[in-house]
Amino acid sequence: GGGICLYIAMTLRDRVSKVVVFAPTCYRLPFVGLHHVLALDESGLIASIMTSRWAVRYGLKMQYFNMDKVTETLVAEYAEALAKPGAMDVLVRMNNDYFSKEFDDMSQSYRNIQQPLMIVWGDHDGIVPLEYGETLHQLVSNSRLEIIQCSGHISYQERPELVNPLLLDFLG
């Protein structure tokens, strides 16, 4: 979602006044991850396994710093969404299309973002390296980088008491 927000900010400048992104995959990831595995999953077998509760729980624990926040309710909500017909197919197709030549071109153009940009990152993000946020912040002159303490990749869910005031201040 964050990479798409950055793209919209660059291409629809007259329609976007401010931008907030949460740990966006704004550069290619330096490791083999789920996105690589799903790209090879022509049969859909891996995707079908990913909708099981144990796999969803494991995935969420990779994205959170505080494991106590990964509740059975949270796991159930994510598992239900992923189990909907066609949901994993959409994620696989989106993943395969996202990391493209156009993505690489876009990631070289972030310095063209003119709108105020708030970049929010968890200090313990194990999915997208914090260095990506620091690099993005350096490239976009009108940006601010907010690092959320004791938080993983989904800082807005894990630490809403810290994130929400930042959003209200920035967007206010």
Distance from C-alpha of 104 to C-alpha of 12, rounded to nearest angstrom: 19
Specify the pTM.
0.86
Looking at residue 85, what is its pLDDT?
A: 87
Looking at residue 117, what is its pLDDT?
A: 98
Burial class of residue 17 in the structure, from the number of CB atoms within 10 Å of its CB (0-12 exposed, 13-18 middle, 19+ buried): exposed
Which residues 6+ apart lie within 8 Å of 70 measured at CB? Answer: 57, 60, 61, 64
Looking at residue 88, what is its pLDDT?
A: 76
Distance from C-alpha of 83 to C-alpha of 164, rounded to nearest angstrom: 30
Looking at residue 99, what is its pLDDT?
A: 76
Q: In what order do the strands lie in the sheet with 117-122?
A: 19-22, 117-122, 143-148
pLDDT of 130 > 80? The answer is: yes
Looking at residue 113, what is its pLDDT?
A: 95
Place of tokens 């796991």: 75
pLDDT of 93 > 80? The answer is: no
pLDDT of 98 > 90? The answer is: no
Q: What is the mean pLDDT of residues 149-165?
A: 97
Distance from C-alpha of 6 to C-alpha of 137, rounded to nearest angstrom: 12
Q: What is the mean pLDDT of residues 156-161?
A: 96
Which residues 6+ apart lie within 8 Å of 5 measured at CB? Answer: 19, 20, 21, 24
Q: What is the mean pLDDT of residues 70-94?
A: 87
Looking at residue 55, what is its pLDDT?
A: 87
Between 140 and 36, residue with greater pLDDT: 140
Q: What is the mean pLDDT of residues 71-100?
A: 84
Looking at residue 36, what is its pLDDT?
A: 60
Q: What is the mean pLDDT of residues 56-81?
A: 93
Average of per-residue pLDDT values in the chain = 88
Q: Are 57 and 78 in contact (CB under 8 A)?
A: no
Residue-wise pLDDT for 8-50, tens only, equals 999 999 999 999 999 998 887 765 555 566 666 665 666 667 7
Place of tokens 């796999």: 55
- Helix ranges (H only) for the chain are 2-11, 34-39, 45-49, 53-63, 72-83, 87-98, 101-107, 130-139, 155-158, 160-171
Looking at residue 124, what is its pLDDT?
A: 97
The C-alpha R_g of the chain, in whole angstroms, comes to 17
